[in-house]
Amino acid sequence: MMAGAEYDVIVVGAGFGGPVAARECAQAGLSTLLLERASTPGQKVISSCTIPFYGFLFGPEWIRNGEPPIERPISGIRNIFIRDGKTYRVDNSFRVPAPLGPRIAIGYTVYCRPFCTWLAERAVEAGAELRTSTAAVDVIKEGGAVRGVITDGGEELRCRILIDAEGVQNLVATRAGIRKPYRPEVIELCLLYDFEMGKEDIDRVCGYNLEYFWAMPEEGMIAPLGRGSAVYIFPYRESIHMTIGQFLKADDGEVLNVKLLDRYYEKFFQTDRWRDLYEPRVKLRARIWDTCPIYAGLYPDQRNMPTFGEGILLLGDAAGLEAAAIADGVPTAWFSAQIAAQTAIESLRAGDTSASFLSRYDRRLREHPLITALISDPHRRDLAQAAKSGDEAEMRRRVNRGWGIRLMGHLAPPVMRAVYREIRRDARVVKSWLDMFNRYWRLYA
């Protein structure tokens, strides 16, 4: 083993959460190392990514006030229902009405590599050291406490606190002995396509909407409802992203054959909307896949796995903070990264990195107005009931509740609580929120 440098904090993973934690720690004057196994940050993060507005509003203000590489503002969700391969109904009840939308957006689509690279650059500006092409393959433990990592090059890197931001695979936390790999019931495997498409065509076909395609199971177009995603199409600047996902295992114990994803795509490519509107205008650019711990918050044993230990804090996907209903993990990765950094700073100032000191991290996660609400919402899973009942109207009702206007029923209360909390802290934040919407609109235009 080669002995390497020693740091106050090592952050493992430069995806969406890691750079945020690294920046806050470096800004507070802590010597901070950010480790990334890919050759550039975000290169191995796979998402059809729309970052919802609340990630920007309640996440770090330097992201909100900066100019991150966004692709396109999104102002609504269009739920498209398919029967016999044809669109028979569209629910677009959830949208910001013109003229506010799309300037006031419900989210922004982004590519992971440029966005995470931008975040990591901000961490480096604040004084963090970034090392790419370096994986942490094991942890250094002393008397039960984590004291650093061992890299794939065999180097020992020591630290007083390790922040684990390595995403879903969670190898460091399992090596540290504080977590077990996720159960297959909570993991969705997503197969994603990226297509080039001209801006004018995108404007005409999807505008500023996300498109979700829904069908009953006999359509063979998506994983049996509740066992996977809808088909998502996300518009970007001059491309579209498209995803279908399926869980690895159903609640009843059946292992689901994810190779069916290819067959769902075949069926989807025969639907009228795809054939008539998209297919003539697109060119395939990429096909990639990744897992997502999207139900981790719905199963008590998974949700209650530790998020901290002696000398270690876990954030984002590594801590199971994916939003169960709407599939976003970026906002919760940002929120948890800030809380982790704040906890690490306090712990180093107090000279106490024990698990009992760090337990305040977990408490703060649970007290966050949005995190618990987002990870514990069962709408997507509940769609299985519609499939079992064979009732299409029931499916549409459930889709409306999860992705239509009735989404507000469960999203609005925690968002309003977060708004209230921020305004009480400093009312000037409202101006900075509005400035952000304007700035991002200009960035796009």
Ligand X SMILES: Cc1cc2nc3c(=O)[nH]c(=O)nc-3n(C[C@H](O)[C@H](O)[C@H](O)COP(=O)(O)OP(=O)(O)OC[C@H]3O[C@@H](n4cnc5c(N)ncnc54)[C@H](O)[C@@H]3O)c2cc1C
Q: Report the nearest approach of ligand X to the CB of residue 37 (Å).
A: 4
**Per-residue x/- track, 235-264, another protein (CB under 8 A):** -------------xx-----x-xxx-x---
CA dihedral 194, 170, 118, 40 (to 10 degrees): -70
Q: Which member of 288, 350, 408, 430 binds another protein (CB under 8 A)? A: 288
Q: Which member of 47, 117, 271, 343 binds ligand X (CB under 6 A)? A: 47
Extended beta strands in 200-340, E state: 209-214, 231-235, 239-247, 282-292, 308-309, 312-314
Q: Report the nearest approach of another protein to the CB of residue 286 (Å).
A: 2
Q: Which member of 88, 269, 289, 420 binds another protein (CB under 8 A)? A: 289
Nearer to ligand X, 123 or 216 (CB): 123
User: Binding partner of residue 152 among another protein, ligand X, none, CB under 5 to 8 Å per kind?
Assistant: another protein
Phi/psi of residue 82, each to 5°?
-115, 135
Q: What is the DSSP letter of 278?
A: I
Burial class (CB in 10 A: 0-12, 13-18, 19+), 284: exposed
Rule CB under 6 A: say whether 190 interacts with ligand X. yes
Rule CB under 8 A: say whether 189 interacts with another protein. yes
Give the separation between CA 151 and CA 253, rounded to whole angstroms: 37
Rule CB under 6 A: say whether 110 interacts with ligand X. no
CA 211 → CA 154, 207, 418, distances in Å?
46, 10, 28
**Per-residue x/- track, 150-169, another protein (CB under 8 A):** --xx--------------xx
- Residues near 304 by beta carbon (within 8 Å), at least 6 away in sequence: none
Nearer to ligand X, 290 or 362 (CB): 290
Q: Which member of 3, 99, 252, 284 binds another protein (CB under 8 A)? A: 284
Helices H / strands E in the chain, number of each: 16, 18
Q: Which helix (H) or strand (E) holds 64?
A: helix 61-64
Name the one residue in this structure whose structure tokens are 């230990």.
309
Q: Report the nearest approach of another protein to the CB of residue 91 (Å).
A: 29
Give the number of C-alpha atoms closer than 13 A to the C-alpha of residue 98, restricted to the C-beta side.
3
User: Binding partner of residue 39 among another protein, ligand X, none, CB under 5 to 8 Å per kind?
Assistant: another protein
Q: Report the nearest approach of another protein to the CB of residue 244 (Å).
A: 12
Residues that bind another protein (CB under 8 A): 36-39, 42-47, 111-113, 132-135, 137, 152-153, 168-169, 171, 181-184, 187, 189, 191-192, 194, 248-249, 255, 257-259, 261, 284-291
